[in-house]
Amino acid sequence: MNSRDNIKDASDALGRPIRDLRVSVTDRCNFRCTYCMPREVFGPGYDFVPRGELLTLEEIARLVRVFTTFGMRKVRITGGEPMIRRNLEYLIEMVAAIAGVDDISMTTNGSMLTHGRAQSLRQAGLGRLTVSLDALDDATFKRINDVEFPVAKVLEGIANAQAAGFTDIKINVVVRRGFNEHVVLPVVRHFRGSGCIVRFIEFMDVGSSNRWNLEQVVPATELVSLINAEMPIEPVSPNYRGEVAKRWRYRDGGGELGFITSVTESFCGDCARARLSASGQLYTCLFATDGHDLRAPLRASAGDDALVERIASIWAQRQDRYSELRGQLAVSPTSLHKVEMSHIGG
């Protein structure tokens, strides 16, 4: 079904295919980062997805296999914090065994990346890691994660991943004016020459609870100028069409940087990413307001062909280009009830 010679066309209304599947394995997280899962919203009484409504690991693997029918080649495991999910390595083993999947990556906060877990993830077939790290000083890092978690433990997790053989590690830094813009140069200095690629992300209006404000967005152009003044950098061509981060490199060969500009310079036109929530909802955009249920047909014993047709029908109607239209919306972006990032990952 997923032979490269038998790919089913699934272009959306704007001609964009499905090439990348983001899979959230849990909506829970052990952090309460202020821009993602603020404590005042995601507190003790928050209604997380009940265990029985989560897709099983086998159900996730089956849907991944179905998505390869459309030429999907890249799978990113997300959350919440994906390492909370039990038997995560088993899921990665199943996905790695699916013909057509060329690339398996995971986004994590790094808090659970012990030496043993890093090794087991690597052995299971995980190819790449992205670690969220929004500061290097404890005071700022703890203020952001809001659970008093020390930055040293995340740095230790990154070192464990390198020791386990991960050679493609990215460090994601969400920059928010008034909160952590002062961390930019220290983070760059720390990881320059380490083999890790730092990517700075503009503060985005994902979900409805992170108090997004355009005035708190630090444009990537500002960060480029700041870094270039101390460590000269130059732009690099994308690795592939639709690559999310704009690539830059140090002129002296010290490595690469990336900038994700979804607020100031959108990349909707080349977006080929589908998102599967932990409860089996298919979302066609990071900023979506509604999902499409795949769990119900899955648990009603729908065959692969029926699932393929349902996904193709959903994707064919996709017209999402929220970031391109943000400034033209008749209502404020913050007034829209968008799905929370903890449900579908970044």
Range among 85-89, 217-221, 266-270 with highest mean pLDDT value: 85-89
Say how many domains are in the chain: 1
Sign of CA dihedral 30, 36, 41, 46: negative
- In sequence order, what are the residues at sequence separation of 6 or more whose Cβ sits closer than 8 angstroms to the Cβ of residue 246? 220, 235, 238, 258, 259, 260, 261, 265
Q: Is the pLDDT of residue 286 over 70?
A: yes
pLDDT of residue 271: 86
pLDDT of residue 113: 98
**Residues linked to residue 21 through DSSP beta bridges, in sequence order:** 75, 274
User: DSSP of 128-173, one letter per residue?
Assistant: EEEEE---SSHHHHHHHHSS---HHHHHHHHHHHHHTT---EEEEE
Q: What is the mean pLDDT of the chain?
A: 90
- Which of 121, 73, 122, 119 lies closest to 98, judged by CA? 73
Share of the chain above pLDDT 90, in %: 71
Please write the tens of the pLDDT for every residue from 185-230: 999 999 999 999 999 998 876 655 556 677 889 999 999 999 999 9
Q: Determine if residue 187 is left, alpha or beta; phi over 0 gives left, psi from -120 to 50 gives alpha, anything else beta.
A: alpha
Query: Greater confidence, 241 or 117?
Result: 117
Q: b/e per residue, 141-176, with b = 16+ CB within 10 A? A: beebbbeebebeebebbbebbbebebeebbbbbbbb
Phi, psi (degrees; rounded to nearest 5) at 173: -125, 110
Q: Is the pLDDT of residue 268 over 80?
A: no
Query: Residue 114, class by beta-carbon neighbours within 10 Å (0-12 exposed, 13-18 middle, 19+ buried)?
Result: middle
Least confident interval from 7-11, 64-68, 88-92 = 7-11
- In sequence order, what are the residues at sequence separation of 6 or more whose Cβ sits closer than 8 angstroms to the Cβ of residue 310? 292, 294, 297, 302
Query: Greater confidence, 123 or 262?
Result: 123
3-class DSSP state for residue 312? Answer: helix
pLDDT of residue 227: 98
The residue-averaged pLDDT of 158-162 equals 98
pLDDT of residue 214: 79
**Residues linked to residue 283 through DSSP beta bridges, in sequence order:** 275
- pLDDT band at 306; cut points 50, 70, 90: very high
pLDDT of residue 342: 67
Q: In what order do the strands lie in the sheet with 273-276?
A: 233-235, 246-250, 256-260, 197-202, 169-175, 128-132, 103-108, 74-78, 20-24, 273-276, 281-283, 292-293
pLDDT of residue 334: 54
Q: Is the pLDDT of residue 242 over 90?
A: no
Phi, psi (degrees; rounded to nearest 5) at 197: -105, 115
Query: Greater confidence, 170 or 346?
Result: 170
Expressed as residue numbers, the domain containing 228 is 4-344
The residue-averaged pLDDT of 10-14 equals 87
Query: Residue 324, class by beta-carbon neighbours within 10 Å (0-12 exposed, 13-18 middle, 19+ buried)?
Result: middle
pLDDT of residue 8: 82
pLDDT of residue 262: 81
pLDDT of residue 17: 92
C-alpha–C-alpha distance, residues 204 and 218, integer Å: 10
CATH number of 166's domain: 3.20.20.70
pLDDT of residue 330: 45
Q: Is the pLDDT of residue 295 over 80?
A: yes
